[in-house]
Amino acid sequence: MSYIRRRKAPANPVRNEEEKEKEKKVKARTIKGEKIRKWSCMDGCCWFIGMICSIWWFLLFLYNAMPASFPQYVTEAITGPLPDPPGVKLSKEGLTAEHPVVFVPGIVTGGLELWEGRQCADGLFRKRLWGGTFGELYKRPLCWVEHMSLYNETGLDRPGIRVRPVSGLVAADYFAPGYFVWAVLIANLARIGYEEKNMYMAAYDWRISFQNTEVRDRSLSRIKSNIELMVATNGGKKVVVIPHSMGVLYFLHFMKWVEAPAPMGGGGGSDWCAKHIKAVMNIGGPFLGVPKSVAGLFSIEARDIAVARTFAPGFLEKDVFGLQTLQHLMRMTRTWDSTMSMIPKGGDTIWGSLDWSPDVSYNCSVKKRKNNDTHNAYQNDKESLGLMKNISYGRLISFGKDIAELHSSKLERLDFRGALKGRNLANTSNCDVWTEYHDMGVEGIKAVTDYKAYTADSVLDLLHFVAPKMMKRGDAHFSYGIADDLDDEKYKHYKYWSNPLETTLPNAPDMEIYSMYGVGIPTERAYVYKLTPQSECYIPFQIDTSANGGNEYSCLRDGVYSSDGDETVPVLSAGFMCAKGWRGRTRFNPSGIRTFIREYDHAPPANLLEGRGTQSGAHVDILGNFALLEDIIRVAAGASGEDLGGDRVHSEIFKWSEKIILDL
């Protein structure tokens, strides 16, 4: 190959200088443009964020600099003058702290912190895993689920993990920042002179069975000793106990435990409650359980979750950010034995049969009323009752809307209890999260749907069939029946102590028991279910949100039948014992302890400035209800039930209670 060499043209010095100068100008313009673009992309964002932060801090400065009464001034300008908080009002009347008070929180509202954990939980010693900001849930969800779960065989700690309840008033004053639980009541009690020396939060691990809180943490002994100390250091004044939600059942258990001889009980003797307790003011108490617990244990859902699954089908079941959400939640919550304390008690006698239920007359077409509206919304006309006559809330679970409405004489049911499990079981190796449903197989799942309708009696058999490990633990700690003979020796066992239909109240005739709860909110009472596709790897059953009532009076919405209540606990459960079961001297209340029903008619907040409202009857928000707070403060300051005016009833609880045939 040959190459041709060409001579280079001689350089032109003038031209070279001009070209260099031109290149410098172009380069300068290019560099300047790049700088402008870089500033636009980076500095512009920083400037914008900085401006937002500056505005935020400026507004925060103004808020802190303004008079404390300014937000109240704005609210009053819109809504009119606000009433004094109960603590301020009663302080002006001259009320002062009299009886020590004990708060007993319910399920999920008390904080839990880590004392020992696995490697994934490094750096979290004594940090909250439940309550507070829930920051660790978002950072390491699988680790959080692992540490919040208990050992499936015992219902106690898993090896290498210790999660314990937070102590003190901070254990349950706020559930999360800005979301109060007990904080409003504590603040109002402080207005008449209360402080930590005469207030006590009886915190406990709400995940484990009531008796196991004593076995593992000595929680019942701590309550006993703290009450004794408070009585001794407050001039012998008896305590006023204020349980909320599941805490109501927990304290029922405590009152039997403290009387019972050791080692099963606290050894306080039969007169301990009479000596130490003035009143038990139960708030939102699920005395006879809640149907919501059945849906939670059966398919890890209630109305809200069911609707979410409808709008985003498969989303909660699929692997989202490393979580098959519902399966993980089911596996975790089925290790929490306390949830079984809220399975409906009293069977069909209380909750109704296939064709009958005591509370079917509730009218769900009633509109929410504004504050101070005294209209009684519970008067149901003949037309609404006629349209609802074929409905029975006694069918807690029905597979299909038609099954929910069909007369029992036309129901053809196949008994599931003898069905074989595991037949035709598909390959479950692709199931990322194991649940007990994976052991049932196609035949077991089909047997559940073939039974078609479940009442309170058969629901227990259903749960034993679909969750045998869980219910085996539950049978050792809780009961759900009605005692024939309360003198039977078997009722001395702790498994009966939280069931008011299988135990007796203490021998304390001077003590008072209150049932305080919200009414006027449709509350989950029964469910319409359907079979879920891909049942081998998925939770095979879900609420059928397409099932809705056919008229304006119907209480069937999104697959859920509703009755009167506080959105969580139906009136029937919250009110029956004080309305009838314990009213006067009965076999469940042999010493004749006085009982009072105090209902709080729900009125939602009129505007956003009212927050969660001062007249709310909702299950947790009621702890900020001014009327309820005033009742509690008056009793703590020395008043009796008669001083409050006796019963205050808005619902049909007395009418419904009379329909229940029970030997008293």
Active site residues: 245, 566, 619
Distance CA(452)–CA(462), nearest Å, equals 11
Helices (H), 456-507: 456-466, 468-477
Vertex 584 angle, CA 579 and 588, to 5°: 80
Tokens 């699954």 appear where?
309
The DSSP-derived string for 521-569 is EEEEEEEEEEEPSSTTTS--EEE-TT---SSTT--EETTEEEEEEBSSS
Query: How far is the first Cα of the chain from the last one, in angstroms, to the nearest whole number?
Result: 119
Per the document, the length of the chain is 664
Q: Which amino acid is at 653?
A: I
CA proximity to 307, closest of 471, 546, 97: 546
Tokens representing 156? 């106690």
Distance CA(523)–CA(540), nearest Å, equals 25
Tokens representing 194? 């209360």
Q: Which amino acid is at 584?
A: G
Distance CA(328)–CA(1), nearest Å, equals 76
Distance CA(377)–CA(363), nearest Å, equals 9
Distance CA(101)–CA(44), nearest Å, equals 57
Task: Report the interhelical angle of 246-259 vs 219-233 (nearest 10°).
Answer: 80
Vertex 264 angle, CA 260 and 266, to 5°: 50
Distance CA(356)–CA(624), nearest Å, equals 36
CA proximity to 290, closest of 109, 106, 62: 106
Q: Residue 522 in contact with residue 513, Cβ under 8 Å? A: no
CA proximity to 394, closest of 381, 403, 382, 386: 403
CA proximity to 634, closest of 521, 465, 516: 516
φ/ψ of residue 319, rounded to 5: -80, 90
Q: Would you put residue 110 in left (φ > 0), alpha (ψ -120 to 50) or beta?
A: beta
Q: What is the DSSP letter of 570?
A: B
Three-class DSSP labels, 78-115: HHCCCCCCHHHHHHHCCCCCCCCEEEECCCCCCCEEEE
Q: Would you put residue 419 in left (φ > 0), alpha (ψ -120 to 50) or beta?
A: beta
Three-class DSSP labels, 164-217: EECCCHHHCCEEECCEECCHHHHHHHHCCCCCHHHEEECCCCCCCCHHHHHHHH
